[in-house]
Amino acid sequence: MTAAGATGPATVSGAFARAAAQRRAALVGYLPAGFPSVTGAIAAARAMAAAGADVVEIGLPYSDPLMDGPVIQEAVHRALAGGVRVADVLRTVEEVSAAGVPVLVMTYWNPVERYGVAAFARDLAAAGGRGLITPDLPPEEAGPWLATAAERGLDAVFLVAPSSPEERIKLICSSCRGFVYAASVMGITGARARVSDAAAGLVARVRQHTGLPVAVGLGVSSGGQAAEVASFADGVIVGSAFVRRLLDAPDEAAGERAVAALAAELAAGVRQPAGS
Amino acid sequence: MTTVAAGPDQAGRFGAFGGRLAPEALMAALEELTRAYEAARADPAFQADLAALHRDYTGRPTLLTEVPGFAAHAGGARVFLKREDMAHTGSHKINNVLGQALLAKRMGKRRLIAETGAGQHGVATATAAALLGLECVVYMGEEDTRRQALNVARMRMLGADVVPVTVGSRTLKDAINESFRDWVATVQTTHYCIGSVMGPHPFPMMVRDFQRVIGVEAREQILAAAGRLPDAVIACVGGGSNAIGIFHAFIGDPSVRLIGCEAGGEGLPTGRHAATLAGGSPGVIHGMRTYLLQDDEGQTLPTHSISAGLDYPGVGPEHAWLRDAGRAEYRAITDDEAMAAFSVLCRTEGIIPAIESAHALAGALQVGPGLGREAVLVVNLSGRGDKDVDIAARYFGHLGDGASGPVAAGGAAGAAAVSTQHGHPAGAGR
């Protein structure tokens, strides 16, 4: 977990390239800042990275998370009730980045717009953050963010969906930097019993338009599912299953251990040879 | 002003507002909806079907009623009410819902979902679904299901599945979030029948077009009744659909003041209100760029209003545009001001308004005296108050079993002040 060092700070593209060189998929793990506490989230995210997450997404808690299912809703609701602020999110980014793992912030758009796009990019970069994933900002509305991201060398990750027509996939791929986030199903975040049939087809469609890595998210929660997704995608994104571990834990230390155990299981999953 | 009336542009923008800031999973559906709506709008058969439903089912045109007894409290100006309370289901919401339900059928969707605050939009959607043979699911904040229990029962009688929303603040904004969460997973078979001029493009434009009939009728009716255009058109604003509906036909008439009345709750300084345009700032919510009530970090603020239908932290983007362009003006009406106006209308005219609409009536009581006795006001009576009888009875202390709320004393005093001067002034014609 120390891509940093002589080669400079860890980057998202570096993490994907290293996974590809090892003929495996990258593991991308999500946790919201501020849950179960600011320090608890930092410890859990660092444990996730130490146990095998190649890229960490830190969620910026938002009052109206309309793409999230009940698990993430509950965690961000508690984080906000606990008084989490953007400054806490940036501190989380800084302390998790310091562990040598590239960190992206996953955020709904209004908090960034309110903070100021240029100011947010400046402070994110200063904290060591590598970019943003923006689930409710389509590229058509992202002009100021894309300009700032290019200026700061930050990644801009947009989502494609199974319903995205060809011309939108093309537009999104041309706007993305870092990787392309393929939403495996039509729906909100949350664990699902099986990986969607739509995911592999969507990844194939995306590959026709970009050489960027393609990571699949929504619904992956086990090592077996991670292995399945790893057979056709460059990255496996897991969020709700990690958050579930923290929600179910009796205390922060137990939550940290449970997150690490899941990360290890998923990291083994993304290393299983395809078809095994 | 002609540019103000012409919006939105191809991207759904009203000036700096509107647009389509939606999850990617919905973008294809929003594009499909835009194309289907534009085709329907240009199709005489679709327009004829909708007009026939409005004539034979909704009961359009609705009346324009002069209310001289009420006007005596508004400085003596002539006041006319656009009687959307007389539309089937009891409010203007049916205008939009029948349009969207017909469009959903035309698009081959078999299921309607809707959010509702006061329940009027949910009732209207359940009604259209029953009429046109569609499945219907209505999301309603748990707090609102308690405040508006009668409307929950009405929706269920009409065959709709009412889902109480127990996350977030458990009010209208959370019902909207939950509707989007449903839609993103069901969009192939489901149409999200948004109830106001809000959300991502094309909703603000489409709902405006379906509500525009209110102002088109009112303009013709007031010219016939008063022989001239009104000095002011007044409507309540939550999301803003009844207000845009009555404003739109008058936007090109620069002599007509357009006045929107937002929910001032317990007063702007208390922070307990839902007056988005009077007390908010630009941002992004529910797929659109508009004014919203947010904290310094962009988190949506809790809102308060005695009226569930106005209890929303955002507002339609066309209102944001009309405000910034200076074409419409917006003022905050407190709970107490709205309830005083509610009482005046009940006692002078025998009409029980929805508490939402009472905010517009309060606006008329405020601006009327400054306009003088020669002035002509048109107020949109967007809904009737049957659903609000319990809340109003508690407010005024009419239940007689001691079951009055903490505001009953002040409310009863307000009602008493009104009761000394009720009834029509001698010689007031109708």
Mean pLDDT of A26-31: 98
Mean pLDDT of B278-293: 97
**Contact (CB, 8 A) for A222 and A265:** yes
Q: Would you say residue A15 lies in a domain?
A: no
Contact B23 A172 (CB under 8 A): no
Give the gap in angstroms from C-alpha A160 to the nearest C-alpha of chain B: 6
Contact B19 A141 (CB under 8 A): yes
Amino acid identity, position B398: H
**Contact (CB, 8 A) for B14 and B248:** no
Q: Provide the number of CB pairs (under 8 Å) joining chain A to chain B.
A: 110
Mean pLDDT of B151-166: 96
d(CA B150, CA B390): 9
Q: Would you say residue A237 lies in a domain?
A: yes
Closest by Cβ to A137, choosing from B21, B174, B296? B21
Q: Count CB atoms within 10 A of the CB of residue B3.
A: 8
Determine the residue of chain A that is closest to B26 in CA distance. A163
Query: Which residues of A have a CB under 8 Å from any CB of B?
Result: 62-67, 69-70, 73, 77, 80, 85-86, 109-115, 135-138, 140-141, 158-165, 168, 172, 183, 185-188
Q: Of the candidates A187, A169, A272, A189, which has an alpha carbon nearest to the alpha carbon of residue A237?
A: A189
d(CA B360, CA A163): 43
Q: Would you say residue A275 lies in a domain?
A: no
- CA R_g for chain A: 17
The rounded Cα B178 to chain-centroid distance in angstroms is: 20
Mean pLDDT of B260-280: 97
Contact B24 A113 (CB under 8 A): no
Residues of A with CB below 8 A from B299's CB?
62-63, 80, 111
In angstroms, the Cα distances linking B302 to A80, B247, B253, B274 are 13, 28, 37, 8
Evaluate if residue B294 carries a pLDDT over 80. Answer: yes
B102-134, pLDDT tens digit by residue? 999 999 999 999 999 889 999 999 999 999 999
Residues of A with CB below 8 A from B298's CB?
62, 110-115
CATH of the domain at A120: 3.20.20.70
Closest by Cβ to A159, choosing from B24, B287, B297? B24
Closest by Cβ to A141, choosing from B21, B168, B180? B21
Catalytic option among A54, A57, A95, A155: A57
B173-229, pLDDT tens digit by residue? 999 999 999 999 999 999 999 999 999 999 999 999 999 999 999 999 999 999 999
Q: Count CB atoms within 10 A of the CB of residue B386.
A: 13
Contact B25 A66 (CB under 8 A): no
- What's the whole-model pTM score? 0.93
Beta-bridge partner residues of A68: none
Beta-carbon contacts of residue B122 (< 8 Å; ≥ 6 apart):
B114, B115, B116, B138, B140, B151, B155, B160, B162, B195
A190-200, pLDDT tens digit by residue? 877 777 788 99
The rounded Cα B368 to chain-centroid distance in angstroms is: 22
Residues of B with CB below 8 A from A141's CB?
19-21
Determine the residue of chain A that is closest to B177 in CA distance. A66
Mean predicted lDDT score pLDDT of chain A: 94
Q: Would you say residue A167 lies in a domain?
A: yes
Q: Would you say residue A10 lies in a domain?
A: no
Residues of B with CB below 8 A from A70's CB?
167
Q: How many domains does chain A have?
A: 1
- How many secondary structure helices (H) and strands (E) does chain A include? 12, 9
Tokens 């909207």, residue located: B176
In this predicted structure, what is the pLDDT of residue B5?
57
Q: Would you say residue A211 lies in a domain?
A: yes
Q: Would you say residue A11 lies in a domain?
A: no
Closest by Cβ to B297, choosing from A114, A158, A163? A114
Evaluate if residue B402 carries a pLDDT over 90. Answer: no
Contact A188 B181 (CB under 8 A): yes
In this predicted structure, what is the pLDDT of residue B415?
40
Q: Would you say residue A101 lies in a domain?
A: yes
Q: Beta strand pairing status for B281-285 and B288-292?
A: antiparallel
Beta-carbon contacts of residue A172 (< 8 Å; ≥ 6 apart):
A139, A158, A159, A160, A164, A180, B24
d(CA A221, CA A224): 9
Q: Where are the beta strands (DSSP E) in B87-208?
A: 111-116, 135-141, 161-165, 190-192
In angstroms, the Cα distances linking A120 to A113, A235, B281 are 8, 27, 19
A197 tagged catalytic = no
pLDDT above 70 coverage of chain A, percent: 96
Supply the range of the domain harboring residue A119: 23-270
Mean predicted lDDT score pLDDT of chain B: 92
**Contact (CB, 8 A) for B123 and B89:** yes
Polymer length in residues for chain A: 276
ipTM: 0.94
Query: Predicted confidence band at B412 (pLDDT cuts at 50, 70, 90)?
Result: very low
Residues of B with CB below 8 A from A111's CB?
297-299
A64 tagged catalytic = no
Catalytic option among A54, A68, A123, A256: A68
In this predicted structure, what is the pLDDT of residue B400?
72
